[in-house]
A and B are shown apart, each in its own frame.
Chain A
Amino acid sequence: MNSLSYLTGSSQPTSSSKEELRFPFSESSLPNVTEEQEVENGEVSQDSKGGRPSWVWRVVFFLPTWLIIKPIWLIWFVLTFPLNLIEHTSSKDGSVEEEEVIPTNSQGSGGGEVIEDDDLVGESMVLHEDSIKSSRPSTSRSSYTSTRLGKFLFPKKLIPQSILQTDRKKVLVLDLDETLIHSMSRSTSSSNTSQGHMVEVTFSVSGVSSLYYVHKRPYCDLFLSRVCKWYDLVIFTASMREYADPVIDWLESGISARFTKRKYRSDCILRDGIGYVKDLTMISKNLQDTIIVDNSPVSYAMNVDNAIQVEGWISDPTDTGLLNLLPLLEGLRFTTDTRNILSLKNGEHAFV
């Protein structure tokens, strides 16, 4: 079942007053037949003013209703009485407690924070250790505090309205070299370069011009064209602008979308002995809505919890690294905080 369907409430029938919706076979309709008939006659006289067809339908349905359906229903009711009784008694609690919830909702909506409401108002429970049955041999954690996981809060809606309704997409930061493409300069590659796209780069500082053969990673176009529907794409590369710009232009020509931002080596932070580090805060302040896909852990050293690592690609034609990320990225677009999922790479440290 997709979550969207119940969020939009499509499965719910149009609600009307309870009297109208009364199930016609409820227990009450059986004993007082005469009353029902009187009421029915009264309604008929009212309906006949409104229109003739409904009166006709009433006559057509009259005989089967009282001769076949009602007796069958009576038998059915008698047979299922024990089950109905159980259901009836168990649902009584719910009906009582329901009244207590309603004022809460009205308070929440009155506060004007409707969007945040569904995010946080929920029911909670705490896991407790059963002290009697704790026969487990004491492992490294001797205390085994039950409340380590804290209180569980259950959202009323799985995906908050604020995320579903907004037009703002999350930001996906992509690396260029060894993640989306691989390039070789002409001098180092002698063979098997004929298929690559040629990019001529002229460095403004030195004035030296050189030729690069650029290869797209397998599924690169598929990846970009899918992902651009879900995210705002940003290229953040540790290479020079003179080289990166023509390559990005070439990538853009293969897909319908554009990269919203381009960041180059000049935007990286150089750490001695480590390399170029990419600081995600200069792209977006909302780190909970930012994801970086990179092949080198050094690049995202400042934002480990936002990172998806992908294996570096050089020449393997059967590589599926980008294809494998598609289901994950599609699933991440509705999360409230991407760091919650992406920090799971640290194992249990994510929970403290």
Chain B
Amino acid sequence: MSDDLLIKDENSIATVEQHDLFSMGIKKLNRVTPGNGSLRRRRRSSSRASSKNLKSTTDISPASKIFRNLLILEDDLRRQAKEQKLLKWQFTLFLSSLMGVAGFAFYELYFSQESVQGLYRMMLQFLFMFIMITVILFHLSGEYRRTIVIPRKFFTNTNKGIRQFNVKLVKVKSSVSDMIADIVRYISRKVAWTSMRILRIILPISYLETTWIYQLWRSVAIRSQPRIGAVDVKLVLYPRAFSAEIREGWEIYRDEFWAREGARRRKLVNQISPKRD
């Protein structure tokens, strides 16, 4: 299963690149290869490039700098969006469960066929009052606004703030198969972490590193890393302010960066199970 995921992931990134290459139709992507023009020399270019004097910032094109900073901004906005979504869900769940209990108590007290008496009735009354006061305080203290109203408007508010810079934050819809893969990855990651923790407790440390089961879970944990890049939220440049070339350049830059980052992380798998040459 984990092998499947790994292979799927590599393929998906490859298709992203290919999609960029072919969908544009007007451009093609060439890696900078000083010396020879072979397409697959990726890393060599870096060693060459860094041997040149790239330390001075003047060598870097303004587009590259802008895109890099946009990436930083986008990544932080992605984190914020995730954080706000979590906040919203947590407190919606909290409030709705409170209201559910309160509704149950209210029904038992006043609408139930058999009248409740004694201690049970007092308990229900206390519970109802307690929850009502909690909810009112929650609203009055501004927590309701902070945890539910503002997170719900996160995209609207953010877009109002960044509109003057001709960028827009949009949600990315992921396909059903991607979502299934995400869930499978999530579950297998959690399972792997849990079993690694258990193994660390029950097994002696000297024996841990060589145990096959520990190695297995470790490789599963690495292979089921979450997808990275613009999978949920992304920044889009406004078409009326930027030409198609710049917008495509930005998309390419982002996809390329995250593809490289993903490749860097997946190299850890090869470190754990090195291929035999």
Contacts and interface: CB of A to CB of B under 8 A. Distances in A.
Interface of A: 1-3, 6, 11-13, 15-16, 18, 20-28, 47, 50-51, 53-54, 57-58, 61, 65, 69, 80, 83-84, 86-88, 90-95, 97-98, 100-101, 103-104, 107-108, 113, 116, 120-130, 133-136, 141, 144, 146, 148-155, 158-159, 308-309, 320, 323-328, 330-338, 340-345, 347-348, 350-352
B188 interface: no
Contact of B243 (A6, A328, A348): A348
B180 interface: no
Nearest to A334: B72
B47 A101 contact: yes
A333 B6 CA distance: 34
B27 A128 contact: yes
Given A23-B219, A24-B212, A149-B246, A92 B157 contact: no
A21 B54 CA distance: 37
Contacts of B267: 94, 98
Among B161, B166, B209, B241: residue with most chain A CB under 10 A: B161
B158 interface: yes
Contacts of A345: 164-166
B64 interface: yes
Given A123-B43, A324-B161, 5 more contacts: A23-B272, A100-B43, A133-B26, A330-B76, A341-B73
Nearest to A102: B47
B211 interface: yes
B26 A122 contact: no
Interface in B77-131: 77-80
Contacts of A103: 47
A24 B60 contact: no
Contacts of B167: 344
A50 B64 contact: no
Given A120-B55, A128-B28, A335 B73 contact: yes
B261 A104 contact: no
A58 B210 CA distance: 10
Nearest to A222: B146
Q: What bracket does the count of chain B residues touching chain A fall in?
A: 35 or more
B206 interface: yes
A222 B261 CA distance: 36
Contact of B68 (A116, A155, A344): A155
Contacts of A328: 73, 158, 161-162
A154 to B, nearest CB: 5
B29 A98 contact: no
Nearest to A15: B271
Among A57, A146, A328: residue with most chain B CB under 10 A: A328
Contact of A25 (B26, B216, B275): B216
Contacts of A125: 29-32, 45, 256
Interface string B190-206: 00000000000001101
A26 B150 contact: no
Interface of B: 3-4, 6-7, 10, 25-32, 40-47, 49-51, 54-55, 57, 60-80, 150, 154, 157-158, 160-162, 164-167, 203-204, 206-207, 209-213, 215-216, 218-219, 221-222, 225-226, 228, 237, 241-243, 245-246, 248-249, 252-253, 256-257, 260-261, 263, 265, 267-268, 270-277
Nearest to B257: A154
5 nearest CB pairs, A to B:
A150-B61, A23-B273, A24-B212, A324-B161, A97-B43
Nearest to B162: A328
A116 to B, nearest CB: 6
A327 B157 contact: yes
Contact of B253 (A50, A107, A128, A152): A152
B69 A340 contact: yes
A20 B29 contact: no
A120 B60 contact: yes
A141 B244 CA distance: 12
A352 B44 contact: no
Contacts of A95: 270, 275, 277
Contacts of B215: 21, 23-24
B274 A97 contact: no
B210 A20 contact: yes
A309 B66 CA distance: 20
Contacts of B75: 2-3, 158
